[in-house]
Structure formats: structure tokens, C-alpha cells
Amino acid sequence: MFENDTDLVLTLIAGRGRARLNDAIVTEARASLNNLGAETAPPDWLAEKKACDIAFSGLAPAQGEAAVRTAIDAMDKNGEKPIDIIAQPIIGRKKKLLVADMDSTIVTSETLDDLGAYAKKQDAIARLTQRAMKGKIGFKDALIARVEMLKGVEESALEKTMKRIRLTSGAKTLIATMKAGGAHTVLVSGGFCYFAKRVQKMAGMDAAHANTFIIKDGVLTGEVLDPVIGKDAKLQILLEKAAKYKLSLSETISIGDGANDVPMLGAAGLGIAYHAHPVANDAASARLSHADLTGALFAQGYRAEEFITP
């Protein structure tokens, strides 16, 4: 039972902080699947009060996810139970290649916005960032416009900005655990190599790809070195890395939050929109809107006792 390619698993993941799962929620989730005609297995707890699997068959993933979301929302009229729900094929859940966005995904902030403080244009840059991430303006145009605002900023501001950058909760555990499971981990960013290479090291990732500032005489020129890494390049890196390691796309996972991540979210075997803008949520096969990045491990079927925290 539940070993075929058509069999599915629905994972309930409690949000960050004090959010908890309980037996009543899991029972209601299973009942909602059964009420639509699905056959379900007994709950399998991946972490007590934090994550639980329910294997099922007889429904499409989206049907199962929607039914359970409706049931949980009906139980939670006050919004006190932030729970992520991910339904997917049960075969091949643990992925062998992770391709992750950097800003607002592996790190908590938008690094270009942070750097903008040294040009006294942080708010203007942040507004363009938000428009780009929502898909309301082309990423390349937005990037060029934002970097132009940084013209004349001293190179030393890069180091000062880097000191303020923090990894997202669960990032190190996600990466270390997947690497221990034999996966390759790659950072892809529409941001800049100065930050991406350092974040790669902080997070313990295998590689990083990002854009490059043009710097002359110790100051930023306000220009970007071509070619610009945007959404198409992120997708291409996913495809190239999968080919390099002789993996099918079904063996890959991508994580991101904005319009710049949409193609890679749609192409990966498991594309996770992480605390994302609507355009990314709509494109992804899975969403983590409440959990931290360890939710991506639960989504792959890792148990809490398998987590590696550097």
C-alpha cells in the first residue's frame, strides 16, 4: 500500500514559533481526504507537534491540499494555527539537488536594499525591489535602475552591509541535512557575488551564482557586469546542474520568493515558494508560508532526528 508512482503524501507542518500540530488537526485532515473518497494510511509523525505525514491515494495533490486547507481553516477561525500543507507524490521525495534563491530566502533581507542605505536611497531601491519581486516590472530593468542609484558608494560599504546580513532560520539545517543525504546545494541570486559568495560560505552551500558590481577606484560605478542573472539564468543553472549530476528534474528542489524565481520553481520536481509574493505562490508546486526553512526538510520526508544542525 502506498508504494506506487500514483500514491501521494500530504504533509502538515506547523509554523514558526509556538505553532503546534495536535491529534485533532491531523484527524480532521485525514477525515477530509476520506470524505472525498481517498484511501489514507495512519498518520506518520515526522516531528512531535511539528510535522506529520498522511499518505493517500485516489485524489490529485491539489484536491487533497485544498480539502485539508478548507478543513483546517474551519477549525481555526481565529487564525491561531498557522499550518503549511504540501501534497506530492510519495516516491522520490528526498531530492538530490537544491537550488535556492538568496535574498528573503536563504538570508532574511534584500541585500541590495540594505546596501542602498549607504547611498541614502534605501527606500527608493526597496520600492523597486518589491515591484520586481511582484512581477510588476522586469527584473533586469529594475536591477539596472537600482544599481544606478548606488553610483559613488564606496566599496567599503559592501563589507559593512555584509556584517548585517543574517541567515534565515533553518537555512543551515536544511543545507547540512540535504548534503548529508547526498544532495548538491546551489545558491542562485539576482543579487551580487560579493554577498552570494559569503552567504554560500555562511550557509555551507556547494556553489553560488550571482551578478557582479563594476567597481573602479574603490567606488561603485552604478553598472552591472553582463550578462545579468535573472529568472532565465536561474532556470538555466537548475537545468545545467541537474545535467551535470545526471539527475532528472524530478530529483530537484528549488526555493524562492519572487517573480525572479518563477521559472525554476515551476521546473523543479519540488518548487517551494517561501514566504513568497503571490506570483511565486501561484507558480510553485508547494508553499511554505508559516514554517522556517526546515519545513523544506519535512516536505521531503526527513524526520526531526535526521536533522543536522551545524
Q: What is the pLDDT of residues 58-109, one digit of tens each?
A: 999 999 999 999 999 888 766 667 999 999 999 999 999 999 999 999 999 9
The one catalytic residue among 53, 84, 103, 292: 103
**Residue 284: alpha-carbon gap to chain centroid:** 10
Cβ neighbours around 31 below 10 Å, total: 13
Q: What is the pLDDT of residues 169-191, one digit of tens each?
A: 999 999 999 999 999 999 999 99
Task: Please provide the CATH number assigned to the domain covering 94-110+166-310.
Answer: 3.40.50.1000
Distance CA 89, CA 202 (A): 32
Span between the terminal Cα atoms of the chain, in Å:
37
**Residue 132: alpha-carbon gap to chain centroid:** 17
For residue 310, what pLDDT band results from cuts at 50, 70 and 90?
A: confident
Is pLDDT of 49 > 90?
A: yes
Q: What is the share, in percent, of the chain residues with pLDDT greater than 70?
A: 97
The one catalytic residue among 53, 84, 101, 114: 101
Q: Is 23 a catalytic residue?
A: no
Return the amino acid letter for 72.
I
Average pLDDT score over the chain = 94
Q: What is the pTM of this model?
A: 0.95
For residue 261, what pLDDT band results from cuts at 50, 70 and 90?
A: very high
- Residue 161 near residue 118 (C-beta atoms within 8 A): yes
Among candidate residues 183, 204, 205, 185, the one with its CA nearest the CA of residue 93: 183
Domain boundaries, the chain: 1-91, 94-110+166-310
Q: Is 101 a catalytic residue?
A: yes
Among candidate residues 286, 283, 292, the one with its CA nearest the CA of residue 259: 283
Stretch 247-267: mean pLDDT: 97
Stretch 215-229: mean pLDDT: 95
Domain at 1-91, CATH from 3.40.50.10190, 3.60.15.10, 3.30.70.260, 3.40.462.10:
3.30.70.260
